[in-house]
Amino acid sequence: MKYKNPSIIEALCEFTFALETAWDSTIFGRFYEQVRNEFPQREEGELVTTSLCLNLQAAQTPAAPQLTRSPRMAFSRDGRTRLIQVSQRLLSVNVLAPYPGWDEEFRKMILDAIDAYRRVTGISEAARVVLRYLDRFDFDDQPFRLGDWVNCDGGLFPRELAEQSLMAYQIGHPLSHGEHFAMTAVTGTGENNPAACNVILDTQIIGALPIKLDAVSAPLDAMHRQIIQAFERSITDKMRGRLEPMSQKHGDRP
């Protein structure tokens, strides 16, 4: 289903590569040469990860968190609403609102970025792939009732949430072929109007098995179809009416 008033505020696809992946600092420059015509802006930064070692002996002081820093480069266009980020063992492709559509732009951005990464690094497979969509809905309706907008039929979200106005709820379950599905629904109040309410849906398909980069398009399409199905299951007909369905074309995503 495609909508006149799309709710997507961000979509991203993230590839994680194996620990033993070869890396050197020239990769940033060589990758930029591959994408500079489409993504001329670039900026340097750091990717910071934290690991915490828990001490099972309560009498002893827990070990301090271990911080790992690695260089990161971001390549962007259109005011950073279209973005590729590269660091050691990580490649991500992000689009912000207005969402351009899967077939129209986002899918090609992902495949072009992966193709450039393969040419520069020689890496042939990813250890993990995540496809993630964030949808936001803002309401002035008072009183706000979640079940009017989010489908609390006991499928994805339990019936007891229907009467709620403020809540955070997460579900997740394994799929076939090493994939995992996760969806989080969070409600909050408006920034400038405390009487207003917003709902954010965060939907992810996580593939944790190695995937060949030269054959990634079919798995990505399958993950995208799962995102569509989950979104459509998560909203009510009242929400659908608010989004205003347009003429349907196979593979469309609001």
Letter string b/e over residues 129-150, b meaning 16 or more CB atoms within 10 A of that residue's CB: bbbbbbbbbebeeeebbbbebb
Residue 64 pLDDT: 57
Angle at 88 between CA 29 and CA 210, to 5 degrees: 120
pLDDT at site 68: 58
What are the two backbone dihedrals, phi and then psi, of residue 196, each rounded to the nearest 5 degrees?
A: -80, 165
Output DSSP code: residue 166: S
H/E stretch holding 247: none
Q: Which amino acid is at 2?
A: K
- Where do the domains of the chain lie? 8-48+65-243
If the chain, 254 residues long, is cut into consecutive pieces of 10 residues, what is the mean pLDDT of each piece? Answer: 92 92 88 96 69 48 58 93 94 96 96 96 94 95 87 94 91 88 90 81 94 95 96 96 78 45
pLDDT at 140: 84
pLDDT at 209: 87
pLDDT for position 51: 45
How much is the pTM? 0.87
Exposed / middle / buried, residue 248 (Cβ in 10 Å: 0-12, 13-18, 19+): exposed
Which residues, listed in sequence order, are joined to residue 174 by a DSSP beta bridge?
Answer: 180
